[in-house]
Every structure is written in structure tokens, then in C-alpha cells.
Amino acid sequence: MVAPAGAETRADRVRCLNLPRPVQVTVNAQSGMPVTLHERNRRHVVESIQDSWYVDDEWWRDPISRHYVQVILRDGAIRTLFQDRIADRWFEQTY
Amino acid sequence: MSIACVVIPHFALRVALLDRPELDGAPLVLGPAQGGRPVVTDATPEATAHGVRIGIGLREAVALCPEAVILTPHPVRESAAAERIVAGLETLSPAVEVDTRQAGCYVVDLTGLERLLGPPRLAADRLLTTVPALFRPRAGIALNKFTARVAAYGALPGTVVVVEPTAIQSFLATAPVSLLPLAPDKQRRLERLGLRTLGDLAELSPAAVQARFGAEGRRAWELARGNDREPVRARLQPETVSELLPLPAPATSRETLLIAIKRLVLRAFDRAALRNRHVRQARLHASLEDGQAWEQVTTLRDPGGHKHLIEALGYRVQTLALSGPVTALTLELSGLIDATSRQELLPGFHSRRPWQLAEASRQLEQRFGTSGLYRVTEVEPWSRLPERRHALIAYDA
């Protein structure tokens, strides 16, 4: 079904997908990279860092500065975390 | 060193030369397919030397190079020529991969064939002899597919470039980034960033490349460093049934074409290979009186028998606009399955028709104030922030 052209989409009927989920992370004091991920009373040890990259955007309005880290946990799961470098908080988000 | 790549630059133009070999060496320009915008879709180096570029209008091309010969694509002959080339290469190696992104590019796995074909350079020479010289084929040999491809594009017509395993990185460093299997917009972004050679890209950190270009960029970085572990994927040999019907007189009316198509389909379904079987896809070629050709592929939503196929092809013919009378029709049927093997869904698992879903949405909204049904829609698919790329919107919005 295609909505008729010109039909308005109400903002209250739109839901964002893949929103960042706050997580608790312990980081290595020297490198700043995550070493453990705390989730639902469980502690996951980060086995290795697979990749990391920065996303800096929208500096002209509300600046966004994120440090994404793709980690491999000890149980083999691959997770993508990022540090909000402005609020200094960690989130999980599929990239 | 076990992978060879054979390339034929300007493949469509080379195929057009098969009919007019006397034009070899002249500035050639490929026009659009039937019904397309009149722009240049390919040009030989002889034409580009005069300033002709892909994408400019044909009038501009003629103004830039008055002696240019404009040729039109011939998809039927191109696919027939490609088929002959692959069949020729397959006489020497069982694993021949056809590059679907670039016409006229074939990758051949030579692993284990040394005793049969000789050392790599000799093997590549033998591969080149299977391709007519008019195509000006060239070959590259390396440890992996990508390096072999780059080597082939760097070779002169009729020659072979062999890249030793120890020299892969230095060889790739000077090659242009346009040889990377990247979407055109990403190619342009690389060039805007001043990255013109594979060496420029390979020097960057992988994280930086991935942050800007995503997974595709990461793969390009690996390729630029000579890391390509992709195996050669031999093409599948699909079971097909082909029927050719030369028309007694060139046909222009839809009614005549419909009758011809019906005869073709019935004749194909008379063949033993199609007894009690259904087809998924039909490729209809029409050869036109003026030497041009037209081709259309029809994929059936559900595999069907001859009645279903005649009906589907009939719909296509109703909207057809051909540029000349048809002299022959060829029908190629593929995706053959047993007529009795269709798996029905369990009751209750049938996909709803859109109007049923819309009606259900309306009923839910009437009762609960909101239907609770959403669909995924693209918002900013290019965004670097994952949460901006897609959203759920109310089904009936």
C-alpha cells in the first residue's frame, strides 16, 4: 500500500529504528578501550578489539562525536559499542 | 600463481565489430540501447583521444570527432559472444567466473592445471588463443583474483602480465582506484579526497577507511593491499530450453507476434525436458529486420506451465514498442522445476493481500485507536548515524 502523494506523515506515528542502547563499560585507563561490558547483571569480558572508528558530525548545530569500537567478547559474540565523547557515556548500537 | 584473468575492454563495441571488422582501429562510439537517451555509453581510445567521453550527447561526440562511427548495442549478439568466449575458456579450465559487474571480464582458475596447460604464462597465452583476435583480449596472472584483474587491464592487447607473489603490493600501488569494485559515488569520493592510486588507499589506516566508506571501503582497502581470498566461482550451468522461430515474413503486428510466441511456447513445452515441468523465467529475443535486436526477460511470480507463460508473455507484448519488423523470435526458458513439487503454505500462513492488510489496519485502529502496524521506511540511508537511516512509520500513514 502506498500512501497518497502529498499525504502528511505525523511525527507521532514515526518510530526511530536502531536507537543507541545505554550500556555500562569498564575501560582500560591507558588506551581508553573497553575491557568489560556489564549487561543485565552479567559481565562480559572483551577478548579483542576488532575495529574502531570515529564519527564526528553536525558540528554546526548539536555536535555529535562518537568513538565506535567493534569488540569480540570472550563468548565469541561481536558487538559494536560507542562512546559519546561529549556526554562521556557508552552505548551499544549496530552499525 | 594460479589465477588468470582475461579482459576485453569496450566489449560491446568489440562485439559490434564482428559484423564490420573493417572498422577496427577507427574511432568508435557506442550509442544507447533502444529507447535510451542519446548519450555516449562507451568509446574506444581512438575516440577518447578526440575528447569523446562517456555520458556526453551523441551530437557533441560527433562535433568533437566528425569521423567517429556510432554503433548501437546489440544485447543478443553480446550475450551470444560472451557465451562463446566462456565456452572456449571452459575447454581449458573447469572453473571460469564471469564478472557480472564488468562485461568482457573472465577469471579462470588454473590451480592444478600446470601439467595440462604448462607454466602460467603459457597457460594464459593458450587462454588468449580461445578468444578471437578482433576482441583484442589481454590477460593477467597472479595469486588472487583482484591482482590478476588489475594485471589484465594493464596488459597490452594480446599480451600477458604476470605478477609474482612477492611483487603484488608494489605492482598494485601504481594502479588507479577506478579498478576497485566500488559503486560510482564511492569512486568519486575517493578521487575527491585525492586518492588516485591503490597505493594511496593502502597507506591509510583501515579504521579511517571503514569509518568513511563502510564495509565496502574496508574491502577495497584489503584489495588495494593485495589481500583477496575470494575463490573463483565457476558459473552454474542452469538447465535451459531454447526454441528459435524464424518468421516466414517480417512481422509488425502484435497479433502475429502473439501467435508466434504461442507456437514457440507450445513447441518448447513439447520437448522431453519440459514434460510435466514448470518454468520460472523466460528470455525472449527478437531479431529485427534492420539487424538490431530486442530482448526481454520475464520472471514469473510463481513457476508456471505453458498457459501461464503464454499469458505472461502476452502482457509484455501488449506494451511493446519495437523499432522495426521482427524476422525471428528465440525463447529461452530457465528455472525448470517439477510441476508437482510446489510446496503450499499451511493454512493461516498465507501472505495477506495488501487490501486485506489495509482493512485489518483500519479495523484495529477503529477498535483500539491505533493499529499498531508499522512498516520500515528509509529516512537518510546515507547517514553515518545508524539511527537516522531507517524508521518505522504507521502502516496507514
B117-123: long-range contacts (C-beta < 8 A, 24 or more apart)? Answer: B117/B92, B117/B93, B120/B1, B120/B2, B120/B4, B120/B162, B121/B160, B121/B162, B123/B4, B123/B92
- Element containing residue B306 per DSSP (H, E): helix B306-318
Radius of gyration of chain B (CA): 26
**pTM of the entire predicted model:** 0.53
Mean pLDDT of all residues belonging to chain A: 84
CA-nearest residue to A20 within chain B is: B387
All residues of chain B having their beta carbon less than 8 Å from the beta carbon of residue A95 are 386
Regions of chain B where pLDDT drops below 70: 1, 34-35, 301, 340-354, 396-397
Parent domain of A68: 19-92
CA-nearest residue to B383 within chain A is: A57
Whether A4 is in a domain gets the answer: no
Question: Would you list which residues of chain A are within 8 Å, Cβ to Cβ, of chain B?
Answer: 1, 3, 7, 9-10, 13-20, 51-55, 57, 64, 68, 93-95
pLDDT for the residue B365: 74
Measure in Å the smallest separation between the Cα of A40 and chain B Cα atoms: 23
Contact B207 A19 (CB under 8 A): no
Residue corresponding to grid cell 477503529 = B366
Q: Categorize the per-residue pLDDT at A6 as very low, low, confident or very high, splitting at 50, 70 and 90.
A: very low
What domain count does chain A have? 1
Whether A9 is in a domain gets the answer: no
Residue A71 has pLDDT above 50, yes or no: yes
B110 DSSP β-pair partners: none
Contact B391 A95 (CB under 8 A): no
Of A13, A57, A94, the CB nearest to B397: A13
Of A1, A18, A52, the CB nearest to B387: A18
Number of residues in chain B: 397
Strands (E), B192-276: 241-251
The pLDDT tens digits for B229-263 are: 888 988 777 788 999 999 888 888 888 888 999 99
pLDDT for the residue A4: 41
Whether A87 is in a domain gets the answer: yes
CA-nearest residue to A50 within chain B is: B207
Burial class (CB in 10 A: 0-12, 13-18, 19+), B97: buried
Question: Would you list which residues of chain B are within 8 Å, Cβ to Cβ, of chain A?
Answer: 206-208, 210-211, 354-355, 357-358, 374, 376, 384-387, 389-397
pLDDT for the residue A2: 41
Measure in Å the smallest separation between the Cα of A63 and chain B Cα atoms: 12
Q: Which residue has the higher pLDDT, A81 or A15?
A: A81
Domains located in chain B, CATH noted: 3-162 (3.40.1170.60), 168-224 (1.10.150.20), 241-338 (3.30.1490.100), 354-394 (no CATH)
pLDDT for the residue B222: 92
Whether A3 is in a domain gets the answer: no
Contact B358 A1 (CB under 8 A): yes
Q: Record the cell numbers describing residue B107, joined without a space.
A: 577469471
CA-nearest residue to A5 within chain B is: B397
Measure in Å the smallest separation between the Cα of A56 and chain B Cα atoms: 9
The ipTM (two decimal places) reads 0.84
Contact A15 B395 (CB under 8 A): no
